[in-house]
Copies of this chain bind each other. A is one copy, B any other.
Amino acid sequence: MSTLGRVKLSQGVEWGLHCATLLVLAPPGATIGRAILARHYGLPEAYLAKHLQAMARAGVLRATPGPKGGYQLARSADQITVLDVVEAIEGAAKPFLCQEIRQRGTGALPAEACRRPCAVHVIMEEAHQAWQDSLRQTTLADIAAKIPTWIRDRNQTLLTETP
Protein backbone atom coordinates (compact mmCIF):
# COMPACT_ATOMS: atom_id res chain seq x y z
CA MET A 1 0.00 0.00 0.00
CA SER A 2 1.31 3.41 -0.93
CA THR A 3 0.86 5.22 2.33
CA LEU A 4 -2.29 7.12 1.43
CA GLY A 5 -2.82 10.53 2.96
CA ARG A 6 -1.06 11.32 6.19
CA VAL A 7 -1.17 14.04 8.77
CA LYS A 8 2.12 15.54 7.77
CA LEU A 9 3.57 18.76 9.06
CA SER A 10 5.70 20.86 6.79
CA GLN A 11 9.39 20.64 7.50
CA GLY A 12 9.24 24.41 7.66
CA VAL A 13 7.81 24.06 11.15
CA GLU A 14 11.02 22.58 12.43
CA TRP A 15 13.05 25.21 10.63
CA GLY A 16 10.90 28.03 11.94
CA LEU A 17 11.00 26.85 15.52
CA HIS A 18 14.77 26.39 15.53
CA CYS A 19 15.37 29.75 13.90
CA ALA A 20 12.99 31.45 16.31
CA THR A 21 14.83 29.85 19.21
CA LEU A 22 18.06 31.21 17.83
CA LEU A 23 16.53 34.68 17.68
CA VAL A 24 15.57 34.41 21.33
CA LEU A 25 19.23 34.15 22.24
CA ALA A 26 20.17 37.18 20.16
CA PRO A 27 20.90 40.43 22.03
CA PRO A 28 17.81 42.66 22.40
CA GLY A 29 17.32 44.85 19.35
CA ALA A 30 19.80 42.90 17.27
CA THR A 31 18.80 41.39 13.95
CA ILE A 32 20.00 38.23 12.24
CA GLY A 33 19.90 37.90 8.48
CA ARG A 34 18.34 34.90 6.82
CA ALA A 35 21.66 33.99 5.22
CA ILE A 36 23.19 33.52 8.66
CA LEU A 37 20.20 31.51 9.86
CA ALA A 38 20.27 29.28 6.80
CA ARG A 39 23.97 28.58 7.10
CA HIS A 40 23.72 27.95 10.82
CA TYR A 41 21.45 24.96 10.24
CA GLY A 42 22.59 24.04 6.75
CA LEU A 43 19.25 24.92 5.16
CA PRO A 44 18.49 26.16 1.62
CA GLU A 45 18.38 29.91 2.12
CA ALA A 46 15.85 30.69 -0.60
CA TYR A 47 13.32 28.22 0.74
CA LEU A 48 13.86 29.13 4.36
CA ALA A 49 13.06 32.68 3.28
CA LYS A 50 9.54 31.59 2.48
CA HIS A 51 8.90 30.40 6.00
CA LEU A 52 10.54 33.42 7.59
CA GLN A 53 8.29 35.61 5.49
CA ALA A 54 5.28 33.68 6.70
CA MET A 55 6.29 34.23 10.30
CA ALA A 56 6.83 37.92 9.67
CA ARG A 57 3.40 38.19 8.06
CA ALA A 58 1.83 36.44 11.04
CA GLY A 59 3.36 38.98 13.40
CA VAL A 60 5.75 36.56 15.07
CA LEU A 61 8.91 38.01 13.58
CA ARG A 62 9.83 41.49 12.47
CA ALA A 63 11.93 42.04 9.37
CA THR A 64 14.15 45.04 8.79
CA PRO A 65 15.63 45.64 5.32
CA GLY A 66 18.90 47.21 4.30
CA PRO A 67 22.43 46.58 5.51
CA LYS A 68 22.67 45.35 9.11
CA GLY A 69 19.06 44.33 8.63
CA GLY A 70 17.51 40.93 9.27
CA TYR A 71 14.95 39.28 11.50
CA GLN A 72 14.11 39.64 15.16
CA LEU A 73 11.27 38.59 17.41
CA ALA A 74 8.21 40.79 17.08
CA ARG A 75 7.51 40.57 20.82
CA SER A 76 8.95 39.15 24.00
CA ALA A 77 9.97 35.49 23.84
CA ASP A 78 7.64 34.57 26.69
CA GLN A 79 4.75 36.03 24.70
CA ILE A 80 5.28 33.76 21.71
CA THR A 81 3.91 30.25 22.00
CA VAL A 82 4.93 27.30 19.89
CA LEU A 83 1.41 27.30 18.48
CA ASP A 84 1.95 30.84 17.24
CA VAL A 85 4.96 29.70 15.24
CA VAL A 86 3.30 26.55 13.94
CA GLU A 87 0.19 28.37 12.81
CA ALA A 88 2.27 31.11 11.27
CA ILE A 89 3.91 28.55 9.01
CA GLU A 90 1.26 25.88 8.52
CA GLY A 91 -1.69 28.20 8.56
CA ALA A 92 -4.43 28.38 11.16
CA ALA A 93 -6.97 26.45 9.10
CA LYS A 94 -8.78 23.59 10.81
CA PRO A 95 -7.31 20.24 9.74
CA PHE A 96 -10.70 18.57 9.59
CA LEU A 97 -13.22 20.05 7.21
CA CYS A 98 -16.69 18.69 7.87
CA GLN A 99 -18.38 18.28 4.52
CA GLU A 100 -21.73 17.43 6.07
CA ILE A 101 -22.08 14.21 4.14
CA ARG A 102 -24.91 13.24 6.49
CA GLN A 103 -27.04 15.66 4.48
CA ARG A 104 -26.16 14.07 1.15
CA GLY A 105 -26.99 10.88 -0.70
CA THR A 106 -29.89 8.50 -0.26
CA GLY A 107 -29.54 8.61 3.52
CA ALA A 108 -29.57 12.39 3.66
CA LEU A 109 -30.94 13.82 6.85
CA PRO A 110 -33.33 16.78 6.79
CA ALA A 111 -31.73 20.12 7.59
CA GLU A 112 -33.76 20.55 10.76
CA ALA A 113 -32.17 17.36 12.15
CA CYS A 114 -28.72 18.87 11.72
CA ARG A 115 -28.86 21.82 14.03
CA ARG A 116 -26.15 20.24 16.14
CA PRO A 117 -22.79 19.49 14.53
CA CYS A 118 -22.36 15.81 13.82
CA ALA A 119 -20.57 13.64 16.36
CA VAL A 120 -17.64 13.01 14.06
CA HIS A 121 -17.07 16.70 13.64
CA VAL A 122 -17.16 17.29 17.40
CA ILE A 123 -14.65 14.55 18.13
CA MET A 124 -12.16 15.75 15.55
CA GLU A 125 -12.56 19.28 16.80
CA GLU A 126 -11.85 18.28 20.39
CA ALA A 127 -8.72 16.43 19.33
CA HIS A 128 -7.52 19.49 17.47
CA GLN A 129 -8.19 21.62 20.53
CA ALA A 130 -6.11 19.24 22.65
CA TRP A 131 -3.29 19.52 20.12
CA GLN A 132 -3.46 23.30 20.14
CA ASP A 133 -3.62 23.47 23.93
CA SER A 134 -0.51 21.35 24.17
CA LEU A 135 1.41 23.62 21.83
CA ARG A 136 0.14 26.70 23.61
CA GLN A 137 1.64 25.62 26.91
CA THR A 138 5.20 26.19 25.76
CA THR A 139 6.73 29.52 24.80
CA LEU A 140 9.93 30.26 22.97
CA ALA A 141 11.38 31.44 26.28
CA ASP A 142 10.75 27.98 27.73
CA ILE A 143 12.61 26.34 24.88
CA ALA A 144 15.52 28.74 25.11
CA ALA A 145 15.76 28.12 28.86
CA LYS A 146 16.51 24.46 28.19
CA ILE A 147 19.57 25.24 26.11
CA PRO A 148 22.86 24.64 27.94
CA THR A 149 24.95 27.70 28.69
CA TRP A 150 27.94 26.65 26.63
CA ILE A 151 25.79 26.29 23.51
CA ARG A 152 24.29 29.69 24.14
CA ASP A 153 27.72 31.27 24.40
CA ARG A 154 29.00 29.44 21.36
CA ASN A 155 26.06 30.65 19.26
CA GLN A 156 26.67 34.20 20.41
CA THR A 157 30.13 34.14 18.90
CA LEU A 158 29.03 32.20 15.82
CA LEU A 159 26.30 34.68 14.95
CA THR A 160 28.39 37.81 15.48
CA GLU A 161 31.35 36.75 13.39
CA THR A 162 31.29 38.16 9.85
CA PRO A 163 32.77 35.79 7.26
Contacts and interface: CB of A to CB of B under 8 A. Distances in A.
Interface of A: 1, 3-15, 17-18, 21-22, 38-43, 50-51, 53-54, 57, 82, 89-91, 93, 95-99, 101-102, 104-109, 113, 119-120, 123-124, 126-131, 133-135, 138, 143, 146-148, 151, 154-155, 158
A93 B143 contact: no
- Residue of A9, A22, A82, A151 contacting most chain B CB atoms (<10 Å): A9
A40 B82 CA distance: 42
Given A22-B107, A41-B101, A123-B134, 5 more contacts: A7-B9, A9-B95, A42-B106, A106-B158, A124-B135
A143 B130 contact: no
A106 B97 CA distance: 42
A91 B6 contact: yes
Contacts of A146: 119
A3 B93 contact: yes
A11 B97 contact: yes
A14 B130 contact: no
A89 B4 contact: yes
A10 B50 CA distance: 25
9 contacts: A4-B91, A8-B93, A9-B96, A18-B102, A18-B120, A39-B105, A41-B107, A107-B154, A120-B143
